[in-house]
Each structure stands twice: as structure tokens, then as C-alpha cells.
Structure 1
């Protein structure tokens, strides 16, 4: 049976995929492992299967990783450096108003480079079967929540209210993505003004919503 072409993420989408005995990079191993983690779950992230997908010898794996566990640890590190760091950075980003600050956080919903929703789901599923991953997920959730709480506090919300509004914002967003509503992008960004009023109790200022809407539509356009 002929092998399928490797699934590699290259900077140049027109570049030929690596095949045969051509050496692959550490990033290639991570990218293909990430694809499998998201699509099939952590149980299917196996060295031989990944090598077969890239049509290379599994011996090259050991140039970059000591073991399968080393690869899994690298995937978790990449998840933290993308999703948790991305959300924290957006929550801490300077903004003139709380509504503008939340629009910054909303950028995580539009840009997978800031927050990869599919990867977050995969790690949460993984955490159901792994105590250490559950602990890591709990710490990451806590970091995100604390950053969002501090964001509200910067705009003079009392501590308890800041924490509560942060929870509403965070858990609503997670649940929204889990629901996979498949609504048109135009419809989703059209609801932003009302969500901002619900999350903050304040009206967005002129230009804030339009700036985010333009950003989101451009990100979704590029992702097609």
C-alpha cells in the first residue's frame, strides 16, 4: 500500500513535503504529533505511526527526543506557550477601557497563533486520563483566570466582582467553543457589542468594536 504524503507545516505552503530519507526537523515531529493529538487523541501519538506519516525512519526521532514521553512533554510545553501565554498576554495588554481590553482577549478566539482552541480541547481530553496533565491544566486555568481578574481590577472593579466577571468571560468562551455552533463569522462578530455590555456592564467606546471586527475577519480570511 502506498504511503500517504506527510503532514508537515512549512512556512511556504507550496513547498514539496519531505519524503523518503530526507531528514526532518524537530519542528516537523512536533507539528505532526500535534496534528495527531488534536485529531486522534494522545493514545495515537506514537513514534512509529508519526514516522510512517512522514515517510521517514523512526531513528531520526531520537536526534531530537529522548523518548515518547519527552515528545509529549514538548507538546504540553508548546500548548502552554501558545494558549496560556497567549491569553495572559492579551489580558495584560494595555487598553484605554475595559471593553477595549476584552476586545484584546477576544483576539484569542480569532487567531489560533494566540490560542489554539482545538489544541486546548485535546489537552483537556488528555487530562481526563492523566493526573499530571490534569494538574498542569489546573495551573494553566488558574493563570488565565488570575490574568483576567487582574484585567477587570485595573478598571476599578472590586476584587470579588472582578473575579466573578473573569469567570463569566472565561467559562463562557470555553463553553462557546465546545458547543461548535458553526455560525457565520459575520454573525459572531456582530454580537460583540452586546457581549461587551454583558461582560462589563459598560458600553463600548466608538471604534473599539469595529477595530476588533476588522481584525477577526482578517484572521479568519487568512485561515481559510
Structure 2
């Protein structure tokens, strides 16, 4: 086949290449993220790839940067949101993990699996985990927690959230929401208001898949 876009196909974008690369990383691992495979899924040939990337390694580097900008960036942004109470702040944080357009846990574990084989990626994972945990600690600090307590509470919250995905728990939305009040109290030591609990439940239900 000639190294040109197939007839009848519109020009694909950098975002298209990265989207399919992410899909392959999630479903089949980094070894499946190949130029020809992505091009076949997009219906274009390699010439389109070289408009946006210098090499497969460049694609992988940009894919990792997109993951860090997206997953780590969105988690930090939600931890940094202003809130009148710590329980409201925690609800802000939880919004990023219930919104389908927020934190992508499947991509997160795809990158973590990739890191098992690549020490460079492992270093990026470590950097992101530290940044996420420190942002959550900052959330507790802003609401008057002592530094040592903020550090511990942030670790418990962050490790629980990542572990929740790792266990692939089969909970319904309503099962999980029935525990919101208890989670907020457990993570903060403060009883949330009924309005805070109900507001978060409305948000979660409106974003349920």
C-alpha cells in the first residue's frame, strides 16, 4: 500500500493519534502502541503520523505527558478548589473521580503497568503520586489540620482511592453513595452537613454512566 492516507478519509489530528494510542495502552499494554496499528484503526497510513510525531518514542513521550497533564492535573486542580469546609473540599476532590471526563482510572493503571517495564515511566509515576498526595495534604492544611495529620490523612485518602480502582469493586452508584456521609467523616473526622451530602449525591447521579 502506498504511504498515503486512504481515499475518502478525513485528515486525522494529533488528538486522534493520542486517543487511539491511549485506547491501545489501556486494552493491550504499551507493546501494542505501534504506528501501523494506530494508523490501521484510524484508516490512515504512516505519513499522517509524521505530521505530529518524530518517532514511536516521541508518541510514547507525548502520551505520557498527556496522562500526567490530564490525570494528575485534574486531581490536583480539584484538590486545590476553594471550599468553605473540609468536607466540602473533599466533595470537590471526589468530583474528579466520579466525572467520566475527569480522572481516567483505566488509563492510570495502563500507565502503571507500563511503568513495570520502564524505569523512566516509573519515575514519572512516582513524581505524579507525590504531587497528587501533596495537593491533597494541602487541602487539609488549608482547613486547619496540623502538618503531620494532613500528611497522614492525605495518604489514607489517596491510597484508598487508588486501591479502590485496583480492586475493581462491583458497586452500584447507589451502593457507593449510601456510604458518602461515612466516607466524609472517616477521611476528615468532621461530620458533613446534610446539604453537602445531598449536593454531592446529585452531582454523582447526574454523571453516572
Name the counterpart of 1:67.
55
Q: Distance in 2 between matches of 1:19 and 1:205?
A: 60
Q: CA deviation at 1:78?
A: 1.0
CA–CA distance in 2 between the matches of 1:47 and 1:174?
31
Confirm or deny that 1:148 pairs with 2:136.
yes
1:196: which partner in 2? 184
SS in 2 for 1:64: coil
Q: Distance in 2 between matches of 1:55 and 1:79?
A: 24
> Is the CA contact (8 Å cut-off) linking 1:196 and 1:202 kept in structure 2?
yes
What's the secondary structure of 1:207's corresponding residue?
helix
Q: What is the TM-score of this pair, normalised by structure 2?
A: 0.94
**SS of alignment partner, residue 121 of structure 1:** helix
Residue 75 (structure 2) aligns with:
87
In the alignment, structure 1 segments of 5+ residues that lack a partner are 1-17
Corresponding residue for 1:9? none
User: 1:219: how far off?
Assistant: 1.1
The answer (yes or no) to whether the contact 1:20–1:55 under 8 Å persists in 2 is no
TM-score, with normalisation over the residues of structure 1?
0.88
Counterpart mapping for 1:17-166 below 5 A: 20-166=8-154
Runs of at least 4 residues of structure 1 off by over 4 A?
18-21
Equivalent residues, number: 204
* Aligned mates of 2:9, 2:198 — CA distance in 1: 50
- The answer to whether the 8 Å contact 1:21/1:57 transfers is no
| 2-structure distance, mates of 1:185, 1:211 | 15
> How far, CA to CA, are the matches of 1:34 and 1:180 in structure 2?
20
Q: Deviations over 1:18-44 (max 9, x none)?
A: 975432111111111111011111110
1:48-99, Cα deviation, whole Å (9 max, x unpaired): 1111112211211001110111111111111111111111111110011111
Cα root mean square deviation, aligned:
1.3
Q: Distance in 2 between matches of 1:95 and 1:72?
A: 37
What corresponds to 2:207 in structure 1? 219
Q: Is there any run of 5+ residues in structure 2 with no aligned partner, and where?
A: 1-5
Structure 1 residues 191-219: Cα deviation after superposition (integer angstroms, max 9, x where no partner): 11001111011100231111111111111
1:3 is matched with none
